[in-house]
Amino acid sequence: MAKNYADVSRAIVASLGGLSNIEAVTHCMTRLRFVLKDTALIDNVTLKTIPGVMGVVHSDTQCQVIIGNDVNLAYQEVLKLGTPNSDHSAPVTRKITLRRVGAGILDALVGTMSPLIPAIIGGSMVKLLAMMLEMSGVLEKGSSTLVILNVIGDGAFFFLPVMVAASAALKFKTNMSLAIAIAGVLVHPNFIDLMAKAAQGQAVEFAYIPVTAVKYTYTVIPALVMTWILSHIEYWVDRFTPAVTKNFLKPMLIVLIAAPIAIVLIGPLGIWIGSGISKLVYTIHGYLGWLSVAIMGGLWPLLVMTGMHRVFTPTIIQTIAETGKEGMVMPSEIGANLSLGGSSLAVAFKTKTRNCVRPRLPQRPRRLWPGFRNLRCMVSRCASSVR
């Protein structure tokens, strides 16, 4: 039976203290993720008993409400209730701690990457289909159909910086078109050719500042950091540009400031951060071997519960882009999912019940034909007389 997610969403928001207590909301594959002003206003007892809510997970100022595969329906109904923090009250000032900084980075990664997962999965499955068709001999290597299939599969990855910029613009509440335009510079064919020449040793500079040779396709962190900085640049440019010139001067200044910063500073820094994370993860894998996969597999359900598994998405993408394979995180994830599936199946068999057997319908009383009833009476009398 289909659930009424309009009622479910209203009940969830009410249990979280209302829209005025919600700073932001997003969703992943199965959960609504609310960032709250005051977690003390949460009515946990009511929240957990709402029909359609499978569970609740708390993480600092974030409350994750587990809905299941229909989470997008619930998310759309939450958005219909109004914009979170619609009372325009002053933002809550919180003390900056290492934990809050880590939670903020995690929230930015999850909020940005979660909406992109369907495109990444779709592209991956198309690439897998193309590989199977080639290996089975259905399509010849180099055939136009196979090339087009690979292009379809690569689309989500090649233009990943643009997709990340669009998603991050929603997360950081900045101008999406400007974020996409600046990210588009990083994947522009002429810029890609220029970076290829820089990688071969040719000097490349912008306004006498050397430009590091970086390949931005298939990357996540540069576009994510760039969009976050763009949100601050837009705020300051908006404050200092005259109202008469805002229509043309403001966007021009934003692009002229943000794009060079992305090319000269943020892009290389993002690549270095991503490469550093990848090298750290796979250095551990190099020392521990298969044991690191087992450890990661054991920790994976806990990472999923807290949303920290999304941190490894940029690492996986960058590793595949650099080496063409990934041999630690994805095998760990597959092993963890298989073990959870086996455990769920075992619990299903162990806790099965027969109470759901279809009840038998009441039988209608048999009505005899009057002539047959009289004949039966005559036979009974004859039998009695014989005795």
| Phi (first) and psi of residue 315, to 5 degrees | -65, -45
What is the Cα–Cα distance from 161 to 155, expressed in whole angstroms?
Answer: 11
Judged by DSSP in three states, 58 sits in strand
Please say whether the beta carbons of 224 and 182 come within 8 A.
Answer: no
Taking alpha carbons only, the member of 121, 235, 81, 226 closest to residue 167 is 226
Give the DSSP H or E segment for 33: strand 31-36
Q: Is the alpha carbon torsion for 313, 317, 318, 323 positive or negative?
A: positive
What is the Cα–Cα distance from 53 to 68, expressed in whole angstroms?
Answer: 8
Q: Which amino acid is located at 35 in the chain? A: V
275 to 213, 272, 279, 315, 370: CA distances (angstroms):
14, 5, 6, 8, 93
**CA torsion, ordered 188, 116, 298, 71, to nearest 10 deg:** 180
For 193-211, give one letter per residue: b (16+ CB within 10 A) or e: ebbeebeeeeeeeeeeeeb
Residue 339, both tokens: 């073990």
> Taking the CA of residue 322 as centre, how many other CA atoms within 13 Å lie in the half-sphere pointing to its CB?
16
**CA torsion, ordered 228, 233, 234, 236, to nearest 10 deg:** 130
28 carries an active-site annotation: yes
Taking residue 56's Cβ as centre, other Cβ atoms within 10 Å add up to 17
What is the Cα–Cα distance from 193 to 94, expressed in whole angstroms?
Answer: 45
For 240-266, give one letter per residue: b (16+ CB within 10 A) or e: ebeeeeeeeebbebbbebbbbbbbbeb
Residue 341, both tokens: 């599936």
Catalytic positions, written as ranges: 28
